[in-house]
Structure 1
């Protein structure tokens, strides 16, 4: 059984004023596909590189299975890494590239051939084994890099933004292939990306990081439905969750000139706060036909076929007395064919059951 455990792991780069990774504790199960995701500089690649042995661990421990590998050289950790750049040898054939690490380990030629052939079948590379990398497309080169990792039969796969050099269409197909391949092989995998759509579609669980600190780790659906704080709520989802500050009043929150009902017990949990942030997904709001709802100035409308997205801001005249609150852009998903014009004022109603409430003081989720 191969698990991966980060136990209060910290990495501080020389000369830095704050840790790149701060007290990371994370358990990854046997055969699990876990994605580390977050904005640039959040510590996700550093976390992966510490697991690979390419970065020093300043505090804490890292385990692969029951073995403490914190100070073990990279070559002795029984891991295989797939990088952002393919790092293929241009003078070698696909077969030679895939089998090179085995050759360095002095694996007999017959066994190397068997392993390379098996991996090529898994990846659909059989007809390309005698080609050089320059004769391959970007997606094919990425599969060769995957094959080079697979033939080693490692305990853990580590993937550092392996799809970032591919075009958008190829990324979609390749990420599906990687996820299916990982399930088939059953190898514990840690995958790093800045693309939250990639994270949500590939991982068994997703670990969201910000500023070197793990914010939340959960299944993709749980992250979408129950984000732990404002950062996770705004980061996960495409388009992102709408996050709007409202003034606390009797019975709920005032957003512009509209009262959004909030249960008393929820407001009680935020006693002493004059404002709270509500969150709702674009699909949780609809255009109002009653004259009630949050008043928006329509900025633009995107027509995507089956769905359309309206982008707007809380109308300035509706926000009187709320100028000190953050009133950002709001996105509403609509199925209507007759859409508001740019510049038009509309009102939207939000499904009360789909409203999330966050503390402005702590940014943590209240309800």
Structure 2
């Protein structure tokens, strides 16, 4: 086991107009579960492959423990890789697949058998050791791929979207198993995913990337509660944070589609007039409900749909401006202006109704529209 450090690591492909990974500075503690997350093309898989030695580092360095591994071949880095596709040998049994790397490393037969049996016990694969991969389900094949990495007892696990080939239900159960297993083994793990729900539920810390640049590193709740910029705010959270363009005079009031929003006065003072307000779906409440004040106006929206999930319900609404829907007035980005609010389940609200939403000013995030930087403390 060991810590990992990216020291201004960069990867630029020949002929590219920008770096796939641009001066990545990231420290991962010994035994930590670090998740790299971001949209396709953000550089997360390239960063992982640089750590594994599968991609050349154009500049900078990568450290595992106190050792500079930047120029070392993959076999000398003492890492184990779990890929998106299972990469199992179809003619070998589960036990043979798991023991293959140890056999190549000339580990003794008895020790190989002991390590495979221990990994099989951890992964609930003991009854399947004699089967071929074709006789296993997708989740079982992924566990075999995990077992092949575990038996090596590496310093670092590298996992490149290992759950993307599984169905939704199996993905939920498997990610729980992986997180629990990593905590039990205590091996430093770098996990790549495009699914922010996976990132939020699995990682000790999460690193959010965009266009090869690291945007923010924090605990899952830290990212959710205090996103550093507009990109992180919109990416982390399901449903996503509502982002509303507004103008402010600096007195703690912002105007959205002609409707006043009270906001943090200090943030308003730091703005240049054009701000973007971020409101989580659960922060909204219906004007005039049990928690509200009589006569409060709120932000009017036309109900487009209500998703009633039993315990919760999500209202999707189109904002109104001066009494008319703004949908259809601002071009192709209109669909992005839909407002999402979590409301109590089983409300008597129908499509086409006009409702008014209210948000607590202390829970409204304020961002600079131009730079995207966070303005609220």
**TM class by shorter-chain length?**
over 0.9
Contact residue 291 and residue 347 of structure 1 kept, 8 A = no
Contact residue 256 and residue 295 of structure 1 kept, 8 A = no
Q: Deviation at 1:196?
A: 0.2
1:168-317 matches, within 5 Å, as 168-249=168-249, 250-270=251-271, 273-289=272-288, 290=295, 292-317=297-322
SS in 2 for 1:315: strand
Q: Deviation at 1:202?
A: 0.2
Contact residue 310 and residue 345 of structure 2 kept, 8 A = no
- 2:125 alignment partner in structure 1: 125
Contact residue 234 and residue 243 of structure 1 kept, 8 A = yes
Contact residue 50 and residue 56 of structure 1 kept, 8 A = yes
Deviation >4 Å, runs of 4+: 318-321, 323-327
- 2:366 alignment partner in structure 1: 357
Q: Deviation at 1:256?
A: 2.2
Contact residue 175 and residue 202 of structure 1 kept, 8 A = yes
In the alignment, the residues of structure 1 paired with residue 160 and residue 74 of structure 2 have an alpha-carbon distance, to the nearest angstrom, of 16
Structure 2 vs 1, CA of residues 248 and 110 (structure 1 numbering), >3 Å: closer, same or farther? same
Q: Deviation at 1:259?
A: 1.1
Contact residue 258 and residue 321 of structure 2 kept, 8 A = no
In the alignment, the residues of structure 1 paired with residue 132 and residue 69 of structure 2 have an alpha-carbon distance, to the nearest angstrom, of 36
Contact residue 123 and residue 147 of structure 2 kept, 8 A = yes
- What is the TM-score with the length of structure 1 in the denominator? 0.96
Q: Unpaired segments of 5 or more residues in structure 1?
A: none
SS in 1 for 2:30: coil
Contact residue 256 and residue 320 of structure 1 kept, 8 A = no
Contact residue 157 and residue 188 of structure 2 kept, 8 A = yes
Structure 2 vs 1, CA of residues 118 and 251 (structure 1 numbering), >3 Å: closer, same or farther? closer
In the alignment, the residues of structure 2 paired with residue 120 and residue 200 of structure 1 have an alpha-carbon distance, to the nearest angstrom, of 28
Contact residue 263 and residue 362 of structure 2 kept, 8 A = no
In the alignment, the residues of structure 1 paired with residue 102 and residue 143 of structure 2 have an alpha-carbon distance, to the nearest angstrom, of 17
1:23-62 matches, within 5 Å, as 23-62=23-62
1:105-120 matches, within 5 Å, as 105-120=105-120
In the alignment, the residues of structure 1 paired with residue 82 and residue 91 of structure 2 have an alpha-carbon distance, to the nearest angstrom, of 20
Q: Deviation at 1:319?
A: 7.4
Q: How many residues are matched?
A: 365
Q: Unpaired segments of 5 or more residues in structure 2?
A: 289-294
Contact residue 256 and residue 319 of structure 1 kept, 8 A = no
In the alignment, the residues of structure 1 paired with residue 325 and residue 197 of structure 2 have an alpha-carbon distance, to the nearest angstrom, of 37
Contact residue 317 and residue 339 of structure 2 kept, 8 A = yes
Deviations 1:275-302 (A, max 9, x none): 2000011000011123501111111111
Q: Deviation at 1:255?
A: 1.3
- 1:16 alignment partner in structure 2: 16
Contact residue 257 and residue 294 of structure 1 kept, 8 A = no
RMSD: 1.7
